[in-house]
Amino acid sequence: MEFEIVPFEMKDYDEVYRLWQSCEGIGLSEADAPDQIQRYLERNPGCSFVARKNGQIVGAVLGGHDGRRGYLHHLAVHPSARKMGIGRRLAETALRELHNQGIDRVHIFVYADNQAGIAFWEKNGWRLRSNLVLMSIDLQDRFSE
């Protein structure tokens, strides 16, 4: 069955969040609250997309950039809609828009134990960067009073 890729709009949020919850390998946090996603979409217009099949959202990806590097987050396809090219098309659509906005390199974050996710990205031309280590700090903890 056919599917369509359309821009992610805030009216899609509840359905997309349920999709993310239903998919393994997607880590959700306070950063995925509606106000945070709205801020992300506003800061990165035209870079995030959803896939619809029979009117239902079956896939989603957040795309954005900091002005020099692009990032894809939370690429998810509902288990019942996998192996149809939806994930690849979502990623390619976001990548094309990032390229159109002047971005030449894009990064993703994949959990180290998400072998299916790593295999998907490698199959689609991405390479593992074993020379990098991800480090994080939670500013809420650091600056809370």
Mean pLDDT of the region 81-100: 96
**Per-residue confidence band for 1, with pLDDT thresholds at 50, 70 and 90:** low
Q: Return the pLDDT at 92.
A: 97
- Find tokens 């994930």 and name the residue: 87
Question: Dihedral of the CA atoms 62, 43, 65, 111 (nearest 10)?
Answer: -40
Q: Give the CATH fold of the 4-143 domain.
A: Aminopeptidase (3.40.630)
- 77 or 144: whose pLDDT is higher? 77
pLDDT higher than 70, residue 9 = yes
Instruction: Tell me how far apart the alpha carbons of residues 131 and 79 are, in angstroms, rounded to a whole number.
Output: 32
pLDDT higher than 80, residue 35 = yes
| Residue 107, beta-bridge partner list | 71
**Per-residue confidence band for 48, with pLDDT thresholds at 50, 70 and 90:** very high
Mean pLDDT of the region 72-93: 96
Q: Return the pLDDT at 138.
A: 84
- 93 or 130: whose pLDDT is higher? 93
Residue ranges of the domains in the chain?
4-143
Q: Return the pLDDT at 22.
A: 95
- Find tokens 């974050």 and name the residue: 109
Q: Return the pLDDT at 99.
A: 98
- pLDDT, one tens digit per residue, over 105-134 is 999 999 999 999 999 999 999 999 999 998
**3-state DSSP call for residue 69?**
coil
